[in-house]
Amino acid sequence: MKRVLFTAASGLAMSLSMPAAVNAQEAEMTTNGEMTSAETNPLLAEWTGPFEGVPPWDQMAPEYFPGAFEAAMEEMRAEVQAVIDNPEPATFDNTNRPMELIGETMGRVQAMFGVAVSNISNDEYRAVQAEWAPRLAAFYQQLYLQPELIERYRTVYENLDESDLTDEQRRLATRDYEQLQRNGALLEGEDRERLSEITQELASLYSEFSNKVLADEETYILLDSEDDLAGLPDSFVSTLRGAAEEREVEGWAVVNTRSYMQPFLQNSTRRDLREQVYNAYINRGDNGDENDTNATIAQILQLRAERAALLGFETHAHWRMADTMAQTPENAEDLMMRVWPAAVARVEQEVADMQAIADREGAGITIEPWDYRFYAEKVRQDRYSIDESEITPYFQLENMIEAMFWAAGQLYDLEFTENTGDVPVFQEDVRTFVVTDSRDGSNVGLFYLDNYARTGKRSGAWMTTYRSQQTLGGEQNVLASNNNNFTEPAAGEVALISLDDASTLFHEFGHGIHYLLQDVYYPGLSGTPRDFVEYPSQVNENWLLTRAILDRFATHYETGEPMPQALVDRIEESSTFNEGFATVEYLSSAIVDMRLHNRTEPVTDVDAFERETLAEIGMPEEIVMRHRLPQFNHLFSSDAYSAGYYSYLWSETMDADTWEAFEETGDVWNREVADRFREYLLSTGNETDRAEAYRQFRGRDPDVDALLRKRGFPVPAEGDTTD
């Protein structure tokens, strides 16, 4: 079955319908009989239990995966061979349709392995990943690029004009064949062998990169004096203490992840420690030790450039963007550079405001990157009489979870009820929720929520599906999961999150809504282009700061009182505060990504390229990229976001314009707009061209100026140009 998994790469989508593949030796491999049957290996059994079966997390162990992969590979080989051996002339019904439904067992095993290496990784799982990533990559490539199979796909494609297929079937047949072409279907002989070698080498390097970054993120800075805690909120101090206890050391541990770095830099009055924490964080993967990733990246870039040329594309960026809304690197760069000057100009204003406060306080400093978050909070308090410590007590994690569920009910009739039945989970604090359609009470699926950071869990936040909706193989309940890295409170304390964390919660849940509402027939038309994927999730963030959410759910964790209206007003007034920082931090990463991959000669000195590119575009020295190249999991843990990090901005352009569609009605909960949003964009997967689907929803293309307005940047007058 074609399905989409969000893998260890960084929660990034990897299509199992067109992966990578096995060389001749691998193709002849047979299973050894050890743990390769459902009787001896629980990973191979059909999922049982409620909701049409759920993953048996309580039976998952590293030693089961090799046998499970071998058995699943054998099953897929047999399924594909049956299609190839069909004596009838190739048609959509005897080729494309059955190929849509192969790989049920592999889909289940891969879904569980994604959790093993992303949520609960350890040395044993990493060893399995290192061995099996290249073997699986080779397997998929050999499986799908068999000449006999390609010829069947080609026959269907070349006879479309004479067929009586539906529009959806024509789209699927066209996409199937074009995807095969992009992935080397027409290569022969030595070129095909070299493509297989490249695929396997890249899979190994992606695994190597991920594990090196994760190793650096498992390091920590130990604070051993209460003086080191100056300025830190009590709840965060408790978290640091808990991290130290987990590592069996005395003191307070600042773990080298964003969920620890950000609140520390924002609150600590110890400038020397802010600098230390900042440098440890931004230098992950760039310390010249065994976890340094620069050589790994250089190898990846060389192989990507070679592969692009082999496949007939000018650059890796052109190959990656062949099936996107932006279509070309130039279109993506045009959008980014339209926003970049306004963002840099805003940063100059923000730094001037911060420097003024530092001078007024007699700090005797010049604002440096480790000062930005700290002094931004001072400016926020000075300008709006508000700081994060005033907001956080009103943002109880439990209340915000209720808020996102409530909003989904108001907009899309989804109802979430915490599951109290016997459903296995992979970590004891993972929660599950039954999802139903409140209009008729029918089951939609099961929603898993994994909120807290832990050792072995990669950083960031991501959404994944263990089983996606599709109708061809029979209706099934969706199994979806949101994975966050909030700091877990000390025992007996309430989990409080920042406004930024709350936005992340709503963002990832937006991905979940997208998959829960999907209503497609063919699995191959479910996954959307990379620069569309973030759009539904970004739209969902907008409801967080609406009055309906704040008035109902933003209650003080001690008093239970709702957030005062005066504070709500100040939050709204400051809604575009610090947008210069947020935009430059993200957009610099996206521009560097595109320029790194939109070139025929691969970069060999990664650090030098990063420095030179940032200097060329005028990167403010007070800010660092959100993801420096040595730790940029989006780019180097898989192909998924390579030459694609721009997609957040592309999606946000649609997001900003979509939010204006709600605002124009005078009611951001307007059901008519929500229903059209669902009908044309959320439920349709990739059954139609996404740009055309947007035009059906909005009546026109998205307005780029809506993005500038949303971020509080000046909108050029008609006829003006941006240099």
* Residue 448, CA distances (Å) to 15, 483, 544, 684 in order: 22, 8, 21, 23
CA separation for the pair 9, 214 (Å, rounded): 11
Comparing CA positions, the residue from 390, 413, 433, 525 lying closest to residue 471 is: 525
* One-letter identity of residue 504: T
CB 94, CB 61: distance < 8 Å: no
| Average pLDDT value for the chain | 92
SS3 call for 609 = helix
As annotated, the active-site residues are 508
What letter would DSSP give residue 454?
A: -
Domains 4-183 and 393-530+545-564 share a fold: yes
For the chain, the distance separating the N- and C-terminal CA atoms, rounded to the nearest angstrom, is 48
Say what the pLDDT of residue 490 is: 82
CA separation for the pair 487, 361 (Å, rounded): 32
* One-letter identity of residue 63: E
**Radius of gyration of the chain from its Cα atoms, rounded to whole angstroms:** 25
Sign of the alpha-carbon torsion through 368, 370, 376, 377: negative
**What is 4-183's CATH number?**
1.10.1370.40
Q: So where are the chain's domains?
A: 4-183, 393-530+545-564
The helices-and-strands tally (H runs, E runs) of the chain is 28, 9
Q: Report which secondary-structure segment, H or E, holds 445.
A: strand 443-452
**What is 393-530+545-564's CATH number?**
1.10.1370.40
- The per-residue pLDDT for range 281-295, each reduced to its tens digit, is 999 999 999 999 999
CA separation for the pair 118, 122 (Å, rounded): 10
pLDDT < 50 stretches in the chain: 1-33, 719, 721-723
Polymer length in residues for the chain: 723
Long-range Cβ pairs for the range 654-657 (8 Å, 24+): 654/532, 654/535, 654/694, 654/702, 655/535, 655/538, 655/539, 655/541, 655/542, 655/710, 656/702, 656/703, 656/706, 656/707, 656/709, 656/710, 657/698, 657/702, 657/703, 657/706, 657/707
